[in-house]
């Protein structure tokens, strides 16, 4: 099927035609070649919503545009949201017109989304997970899901804030092992998706399975209630000896340290184990740099010794591309070279 047909299927199925209010304004600050930017523009045109476009993301410009243009809807990636919150705090603005804020494109730290919801209690937050090959959204954590999770004392429900929500009704999602066998709830594997809006074709070469499933190369699992949790890319897995280690939980553990702003975990060559765990850490502005031993102890006590980084490096910031994707290859090259 043509990509235009697939995008039309997504837009028509998720947006009410000319359903925007007269004062609605969508701020688009991701590149137009990215499916998130493209779908934001197309859905705004279809619904009759005014578009405010930023050619490149800058937190000060983002906040200024929201204030001056009375923006009601916007989309960010997690790194953008963190910088927006810092800017809002520094300037003391309220973003009073903002009603809907969607996010995606990377792991959302629990602390960050909790802080954002506290800062903007009247905003409807939406986490949308999707791919270019699936004509945008696969799963959504809705505003009601956010409110239910943030208000819950049940850790399992609260943890849904770190999920990407539940699959759209028009799509099927499965988690499969390396041999393509479906896995049960809580079991980590590769995310597969099937549905009308799924392309799964590159220059005439289909990558769909015989029964129409698209392998996303995203790692994750489904819980008992059908909420999808992502855990990086399948090729981000660190193979230490005979054990497959997920970077995500190690990153979350390191980032829980009060002096750590964010962390990235990668595998580096190791003559004994094949790969060793390495962490690149960004310290919170104004905070005292934690010692390597402190961070290693934190991981060892919360997880286990085999997941403890043998190498820790500090950086002023992590490398991201224009769409907010962490460039792990840059870190691998740096650490392999050192």
Which residues are known catalytic residues? 235
| Alpha-carbon torsion (317, 320, 325, 326), positive or negative | negative
| Alpha-carbon torsion (226, 230, 231, 236), positive or negative | positive
DSSP helix/strand/coil, 307: helix
Among candidate residues 172, 166, 132, the one with its CA nearest the CA of residue 6: 132
DSSP helix/strand/coil, 128: strand
Among candidate residues 219, 334, 218, the one with its CA nearest the CA of residue 280: 334
Could you tell me which residues are beta bridge partners of residue 238?
245
Judge contact between 117 and 152, C-beta under 8 A: no
d(CA 264, CA 129) in angstroms, rounded, equals 20
DSSP 85: H
CB-based burial label for 145 (10 Å; 0-12, 13-18, 19+): buried
């Amino acid at each position: 099927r043509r990509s235009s047909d697939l995008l039309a299927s997504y837009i028509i199925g998720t947006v009410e035609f000319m359903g925007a209010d007269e004062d609605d304004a969508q701020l688009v600050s991701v590149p137009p070649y990215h499916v998130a930017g493209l779908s934001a523009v197309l859905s705004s045109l279809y619904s009759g919503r005014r578009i405010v476009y930023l050619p490149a993301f800058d937190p000060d410009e983002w906040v200024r545009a929201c204030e001056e243009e009375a923006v009601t809807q916007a989309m960010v990636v997690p790194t953008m949201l963190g910088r927006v919150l810092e800017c809002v705090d520094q300037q003391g603005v309220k973003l009073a017109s903002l009603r809907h804020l969607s996010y995606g494109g990377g792991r959302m730290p629990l602390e960050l989304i909790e802080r954002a919801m506290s800062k903007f209690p009247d905003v409807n937050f939406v986490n949308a997970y999707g791919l270019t090959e699936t004509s945008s959204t696969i799963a959504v954590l809705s505003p009601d899901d956010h409110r239910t999770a943030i208000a819950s004392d049940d850790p399992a429900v609260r943890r849904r804030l770190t999920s990407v929500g539940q699959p759209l009704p028009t799509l099927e999602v499965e988690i499969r092992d390396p041999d393509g066998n479906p896995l049960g709830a809580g079991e980590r594997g590769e995310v597969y998706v099937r549905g009308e809006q799924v392309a799964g074709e590159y220059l005439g070469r289909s990558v769909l399975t015989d029964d129409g499933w698209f392998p996303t190369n995203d790692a994750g699992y489904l819980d008992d209630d059908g909420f999808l949790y992502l855990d990086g890319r399948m090729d981000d897995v660190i193979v230490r000896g005979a054990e497959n280690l997920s970077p995500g939980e190690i990153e979350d553990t390191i980032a829980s340290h009060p002096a750590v702003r964010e962390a990235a975990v990668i595998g580096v060559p190791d003559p004994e184990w094949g790969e060793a765990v390495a962490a690149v850490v960004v310290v919170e502005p104004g905070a005292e740099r934690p010692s390597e031993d402190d961070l290693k102890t934190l991981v060892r006590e919360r997880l286990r010794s085999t997941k403890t980084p043998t190498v820790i490096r500090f950086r002023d910031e992590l490398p991201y591309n224009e769409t907010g994707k962490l460039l792990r290859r840059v870190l691998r090259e740096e650490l392999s070279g050192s």
